[in-house]
Amino acid sequence: MKPYAENDIIDILNSDDLQVLQELLQSATKCRLENIGDKVYLRGLIEFSNYCDRNCFYCGLRKGNRQLKRYRLSKEEIVQTAMLAFNSGYHSICLQSGEIDSPLEIDFLVEVVEEIKELSQKADKDSKGLGITLSVGELSYHQYKRLWEAGAHRYLLRIETSVPQLFGRIHPPSQKFETRVECLRALKDIGYQTGTGVMIGLPGQTAEHLLQDLKFFQAEDVDMLGMGPYIPHRSAPLSKLSPEQQLDPYTTTLKMLALCRLLMPDINMVASTALQSINPQGLRMGLKAGANIVMPVLTPDDMRGNYYLYENKLYKKPQELVEEINSCGYTLGLWEWGDPLHYKRRIKVKVGDA
């Protein structure tokens, strides 16, 4: 497994030596600058609903959490937030929510995507309008297709862990590993720029499991990665479960980001909110590890607090994030979509093959 042997990867992931981490981050920075340059793209994140029909054992939005105040933004609120983002230079947004696959919910989302697309293309005739990423969980092929036809072109669906036994320990039996893999393949087949990712530092997760994750990302040939530390939520059953966390979630996330950048130099990779929440240096270090995407939260103030996936979820004003990115010496990629180079190459190969 280039550029590191599998044993080296296991050693790096298990190492407590700060020197090892420093060297890895330096290599990742070099690789990033050589392959995709110094741009950091912003994706305005609109968490439009926290209703969820699922019961993932780790997540604060799970259906079984009766303490959570539920909300859903109206179509007008979502479209207005998206257009505000567009007019201030974000040319990509991400619409995220809990998972509800009812026909009504999908009809609603299709309308939202169509309207955002139409309005943003009208607002700036020289541009392709807003790039729309969706992150609303496992849907059917047909539903993914409808959303694609409405104008969404990227999709994030984390595999959470590529190790089926571990997946089984953090999800109820009704949620199947195989279904998630099928969803990822369906998204790619339809044409989406496809993103996945894992949580890092899960109870019982080992370096060997993370090595398997790296191989999974390569085998599935993904365009984007969103990885972050697992952070317990007191109302989610995983927070009460032994075995303990064996890997330090913060440093191990940095190592995984760096390894992914080295193994997959041309993908887009997020410095996640969870990484920023777990350590004040999270954004800076995530960028150093090779991340090139940041997702400022644009969810309206009065709702934001209820999109509480894990404890102490951080909220930083978009302007603060922009200043931090600039102070780290990166260039902001505003007024453009910032598609992953990997996707452009993948599509070219596909066309060339035909």
- Show the site string, 137-176: x = touches ligand SF4 by CB under 6 A, - = not: x---------------------------------------
Per rule CB under 6 A, count of chain residues that contact ligand SF4: 9
CA–CA separation, 77 and 45 (whole Å): 14
Q: Which is nearer to ligand SF4, 52 or 150 (CB)?
A: 52
Residue 65 beta carbon to ligand SAH: minimum distance, rounded to whole angstroms: 11
Q: Quick check: 99 binds ligand SF4 (CB under 6 A)?
A: yes
Residue 99 beta carbon to ligand SF4: minimum distance, rounded to whole angstroms: 4
Q: Quick check: 183 binds ligand SAH (CB under 6 A)?
A: no
Q: Which is nearer to ligand SF4, 38 or 311 (CB)?
A: 311
Tell me the one-letter amino acid at 281.
Answer: Q
Residue 5 beta carbon to ligand SAH: minimum distance, rounded to whole angstroms: 29
Give the one entry of ligand SF4, ligand SAH, none that residue 62 binds, where binding means its C-beta sits below a cut-off of 5 to 8 angstroms depending on kind: ligand SF4
Give the one entry of ligand SAH, ligand SF4, none that residue 233 binds, where binding means its C-beta sits below a cut-off of 5 to 8 angstroms depending on kind: ligand SAH
Give the one entry of ligand SAH, ligand SF4, none that residue 131 binds, where binding means its C-beta sits below a cut-off of 5 to 8 angstroms depending on kind: none
Q: What is the 3-state secondary structure (H, E, C) of the chain?
A: CCCCCHHHHHHHHHCCCHHHHHHHHHHHHHHHHHHHCCEEEECEEEEEECCCCCCCCCCCCCCCCCCCCCCECCHHHHHHHHHHHHHCCCCEEEEEECCCCCHHHHHHHHHHHHHHHHHHHHHCCCCCCCEEEEECCCCCHHHHHHHHHHCCCEEECCCECCCHHHHHHHCCCCCCHHHHHHHHHHHHHHCCEEEECEEECCECCCHHHHHHHHHHHHHHCCCEEEEEECCCCCCCHHHHCCCCECCCHHHHHHHHHHHHHHHCCCCEEEECHHHHHHCCCHHHHHHHCCCCEECCECCCHHHHCCCCCCCCCCCCCHHHHHHHHHHCCCEEECCCCCCCHHHHHHHHHHHHHC
Residue list 56-85, contact with ligand SF4 (CB under 6 A): 56, 59, 61-62
Exactly one of 256, 309, 321, 325 binds ligand SAH (CB under 6 A); that residue is 309
Residue 36 beta carbon to ligand SF4: minimum distance, rounded to whole angstroms: 29
- Show the site string, 266-305: x = touches ligand SF4 by CB under 6 A, - = not: ----------------------------------------
CA–CA separation, 280 and 325 (whole Å): 14
Exactly one of 52, 156, 199, 274 binds ligand SF4 (CB under 6 A); that residue is 52
Footprint on this chain of ligand SF4 (rule: CB under 6 A): 52, 54, 56, 59, 61-62, 98-99, 137
Q: Which residues bind ligand SAH (CB under 6 A)?
A: 58-59, 96, 98-99, 135-137, 157-158, 160, 199, 228, 230-231, 233, 274, 309-310
